[in-house]
Amino acid sequence: MTDDTHHPADPAPVPVRTAPRWWSRPGPADATGPADAGEGRVPGPRSGSADAAGDGARDGVPLAQDAAAPVPRYDPWGAAPLQVQDVGPGRSGVRTRQLVALALGSALLAGGVGGWIGVLAERRSSTRLELPQAAVAPKGRAPESVAGIAATALPGVVTLHVSGGASNGTGTGFVLDAQGHILTNNHVVADAKLITVTFSTGESVNAEVVGRDGGYDLAVVKVDGVRGLRPLALGNSENVKVGDPVVAIGAPFDLTNTVTAGIISATGRPITAGGDKGDGGDVSYVDALQTDAPINPGNSGGPLLDGLARVIGINSAIRGADQESDGKDPARQSGSIGLGFAIPVNQAKRVAEEIIRTGRATHPVIGVTLDMQYAGDGARVGDKGAEGKPAVPVDGPGARAGIRSGDVITKVDGQRVHGGDELIIKVRAHRPGDPLSLTVLRDGRERTLELVLGSANSG
């Protein structure tokens, strides 16, 4: 008969517990043993892996539950389990913290080394990076291109810095001859006390006014002692057609050597600028070339060039977008909106030659006083002249041509005029002594009168 009773001499049964899976969290107590709290133990090795204790135990095999049980350790970054070490009684918590710190330090060191290697690899790879790029091309450009025109003309264009009175200003000019004469606008140097001319190379010298004309808005200044001047070639404004390409050079807002391009938008565009209308002494009357090449304050006096880098006009005025007044100052105008105006070079050439030769320019006149308040179509001859004199002096070209007070001049050389300003502009596009054909309206009938232009000195 088998004795199944328990004898006191027999050894006590050993409590056992099943090793937890790697994804388990330690519970308060498992089904076969006491709680693990305070022993610093961590879950056992992953299912299917060898027990790191080296004693042949496998997942699911009962393990002895005692204070000296081996503690499995893991790489926190997902590496293979570390070896199980017997930490001994009373040292399990300290030893575990040491091992965890060692593992974290190793991981940080590995990460730092890996990062450094990555940066080094990136730097090496970036030094080898090459993006597609065009090969170095010849520096020259076709002479008729914008770049070619600019290269030809820039050495002959200058920037003028003017000081006088309570204001300073910036304008542009260009070299006329090897003697140092420079053409610019009258309104650039009108109040000048000191004029400094700066060339495209950056060199600067002082200049003096040779002469100026407010009616044409042209002036000539001169520099002395400068060698290697590059005069610009002058074209012929009679050859200009609407749509021709043009290039403007100047110093808008003191940005020297600024090049812009556009086309001729219109020819024979009558414009006025300057002081009060009346006797015409302070007002500029120009039969202008219109261009859409951007022109801004500071471009005044600069050249407008054709496709062969020849001067066909002198940039003088712009039409800007009106800005609202703040109630204290008059409404101002903004910068370029594509409406720029240049004095035709044929007119500028004659005026410049006369200023260089005599210090002043002559104005062609028809010898009548106009009624500038006339609101009808055409230019009406006044009833009286200045200081009570006749509106049509008996010894003037108008009287010799048969013009009378009250006549309304409607055409000049067959071109319609709509007011006194336009008549003055059309007349000043000619030279003194030029013949002119005038169509006048008298007593409801039009008739044509032939006239030879007279001369009046400016100033």
Write out the H or E segment, with its range, that includes residue 437.
strand 435-442
CB 141 within 8 A of CB 151: yes
**Active-site residue, 325 included:** no
Helix (H, G, I), strand (E, B) or coil at 159: strand
**Active-site residue, 187 included:** yes
Helix (H, G, I), strand (E, B) or coil at 122: helix
* Separation of alpha carbons 45 and 58, rounded Å: 9
CB 291 within 8 A of CB 262: yes
**Active-site residue, 181 included:** no
Residues 36, 51, 213, 217: which is the catalytic one? 217
CB 246 within 8 A of CB 293: yes
Residues 161, 181, 187, 363: which is the catalytic one? 187
* Separation of alpha carbons 339 and 265, rounded Å: 9
CA dihedral defined by 60, 65, 71, 77, rounded to 10 degrees?
50
CB 187 within 8 A of CB 299: no
Residues 284, 300, 316, 336: which is the catalytic one? 300
* Separation of alpha carbons 16 and 30, rounded Å: 10
Contacts 24+ apart (CB under 8 A), 17-22: 17/62, 17/63, 17/65, 18/60, 18/62, 18/63, 19/43, 19/44, 19/45, 19/51, 19/57, 19/59, 19/60, 19/61, 19/63, 20/44, 21/46, 21/47, 21/59, 22/46, 22/47, 22/74
Q: Which residues are catalytic?
A: 187, 217, 300
